[in-house]
């Protein structure tokens, strides 16, 4: 069942990014609804590993019932949502979620971008970002936007190397937080670097 869902999702969005080297393979592909437990576990791992990178917290997200996690992936509309899975040697190590808000159809927002520490520096983050940019461009969007925590230098370098530029003033990560986030934007009328 999962294989058929995955095959359908890949056909719908038209890509599966693969990079190989040193006997290891990185694959970026969409999550499918049947993988809700893997999505949940990876999301919670991301929140535990990098609590200052997300507006959501592990404490709050760990209380979300299984039905809500299952529904989150099941209700993802391929026209408006792209939940991405990053695999290294067939195991999940990264994720991102690109979405187009129905009231802002010209802009893609990138959320939940995370790569596990064990595979950072291997190119998975760039592959996730490129997949989201490609998908957004294919949907006719003018821009991709995201927020990065101020002081998260590796993430900021990744986004700047891909051509995202800071926009606006920093804002609090979440209500009551002393941490700030910086919005960044990629103009999709430009070609990939």
Residue 151 confidence (pLDDT)? 86
Give me 128's structure tokens: 């996730």
The token pair at 61 is 């997200």
**Cα gap 147→93, rounded to integer Å:** 21
CA atoms of 72 and 67, how far apart (whole Å): 9
What is the band of 94 on the pLDDT scale with cuts at 50, 70, 90? Answer: very high
Neighbours of 93 (CB within 10 A): 21
21 pairs with which residues across the strands?
24
What does the alpha-carbon distance between residue 92 and residue 116 come to, in Å, rounded to a whole number?
Answer: 9
Q: Which domains does the chain have, with CATH numbers?
A: 2-187 (3.40.630.30)
In this prediction, residues 119-124 reach a mean pLDDT of 94
Pairwise pLDDT comparison (109 vs 23), residue with the higher score = 109
| pLDDT of 171 strictly over 90 | yes
The answer, yes or no, to whether residue 23 has pLDDT greater than 80, is: no
DSSP state of 35: G
Predicted structure pTM score: 0.87
Q: In whole angstroms, how far apart are CA 13 and each of 10, 139, 179?
A: 5, 10, 35
pLDDT grade, residue 88 (50/70/90)? very high
């Amino acid at each position: 069942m999962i294989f058929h869902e995955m095959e359908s999702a890949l056909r719908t969005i038209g890509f599966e990014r693969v990079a190989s080297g040193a006997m290891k393979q990185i694959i970026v592909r969409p999550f499918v609804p049947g993988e809700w437990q893997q999505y949940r576990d990876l999301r919670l791992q991301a929140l535990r590993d990098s609590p200052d990178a997300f507006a959501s917290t592990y404490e709050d997200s760990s209380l979300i019932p299984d039905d809500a996690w299952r529904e989150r992936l099941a209700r993802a509309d391929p026209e408006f949502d792209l939940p991405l899975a990053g695999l290294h040697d067939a195991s999940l190590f990264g994720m991102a979620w690109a979405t187009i808000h129905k009231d802002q159809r010209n802009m893609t927002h990138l959320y939940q971008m995370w790569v596990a520490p064990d595979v950072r520096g291997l190119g998975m983050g760039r592959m996730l970002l490129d997949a989201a940019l490609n998908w957004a461009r294919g949907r006719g969007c003018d821009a991709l936007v995201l927020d990065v925590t101020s002081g998260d230098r590796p993430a900021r370098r990744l986004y700047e190397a891909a051509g995202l530029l800071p926009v606006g003033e920093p804002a609090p990560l979440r209500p009551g937080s002393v941490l700030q986030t910086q919005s960044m934007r990629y103009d999709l009328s430009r070609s990939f670097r």
